[in-house]
Amino acid sequence: MYMKTYLITGGCGFIGSNFIHYLFENELADQIVNLDKMTYAGNKENLNFIDNQPNYSFIKGDICSPEVVGDLLQKYNPDVVVHFAAESHVDRSIDGPAEFIQTNVVGTLNLLYESNQWLKNLNSDLKNNFRFIHVSTDEVYGSLGNEGKFIESTPYDPSSPYSASKASSDHIARSWFRTYDFPVIITNCSNNYGPYQFPEKLIPLMIINTLTGKDLPVYGTGLNVRDWLYVRDHCEAIQTVVDIGGIGETYNIGGDNEIANIQIVRTICDILDELIPQKSGGSYSDSIVYVDDRPGHDFRYAIDASKIKNKLGWAPKESFETGIKKTILWYLNNQIWWKNIQEKIYQQERLGVVK
């Protein structure tokens, strides 16, 4: 396999920046072009050591702009577009759904349209090698009861403005393959965690709240279940899809770690009790408080990732036990990173409360 030029959208965000790190660490790319609008969740500090690499280019721009996207495609002629750019926090989608429709639906439409127009003018070799990876979420499938798992053919049933916007973008991407024979592959992943995750999400929020002496707010009864995927495992899965995924296919990517939210919080507290015990002798879990549930809160997500395992040979390497320890240690060792966010952007306030 030859070294490829990658156009990454949203490369300063959580998963996008981890994927860029993964490409550099494994020397997988000839050139990396990072297009990011730099919303509140985009952070150039995620890529500090990469900034000066000769084969890395950062462009601040909006995926909704035909001119920006069209010019980048013409200039760099990427072999792969990996589309991470999205508004992604359910609570923020409750407060401001229009931004989610604009970025996740209109932005994806623009990327697909401009990519297809550009592709028409390439020679057959370049055209045959090109791939567009549309990175999505398991939330498009809606909520599960106590039994069952999401498979790639599970009907879509989104519950939040966020998941509805991602479901829409999935449908548009799939239509581009069916109508225009466009070489798109869709991935739907479970909840990611790991380094560089913006502190509004459950795991970094709980880690940082324990370190700053704040309450640990748990929605409802805390019994909502998610499947947890360590972000570097996700990066490896995406690269596997880039290399050998089937055009027009959808792949569910999961960590095989179904855990209730309250257990996640208690696990974080137990690990921090060990690593940095409180002088009082109490447990960090004493700070758990139950708060009003999120509106439309899906009860359970669970991914059946047997297709990507059986067809492409990928499986997660990290258990939740190993992944959460690595994650906690990263936040302990990178306090300047999250304190900068605290000072400038987000102070762990509650979002998404319908009044």
Give catalytic residues, as residue numbers: 138-139, 162
Q: How many CA atoms lie within 13 A of 132 on its CB side?
A: 26
Is residue 31 within 8 Å of residue 6, measured between CB atoms? yes
The angle that helices 202-211 and 320-333 make with each other, rounded to 10 degrees, is: 50
* Contact between residue 241 and residue 187 where contact means Cβ atoms under 8 Å apart: yes
Angle at which helices 66-76 and 108-119 cross, to 10° = 40
Instruction: At 6, give phi and psi (nearest 5°).
Output: -110, 130
Closest among 58, 61, 50 to 22, alpha carbons compared: 50
Give phi and psi for 225, each to the nearest 5. Answer: -110, 135
Distance CA 113, CA 120 (A): 11
The answer to whether residues 24 and 53 touch, using CB atoms and an 8 Å cutoff, is yes
For 330, the token pair is: 């990263």
Q: How far is CA 239 from the centre of its chain?
A: 14
CB atoms within 10 A of CB 279: 5
8 Å CB contact between 177 and 133: no
Q: Chain centroid to CA 326: how far? A: 18
Strand partners, 57: 33
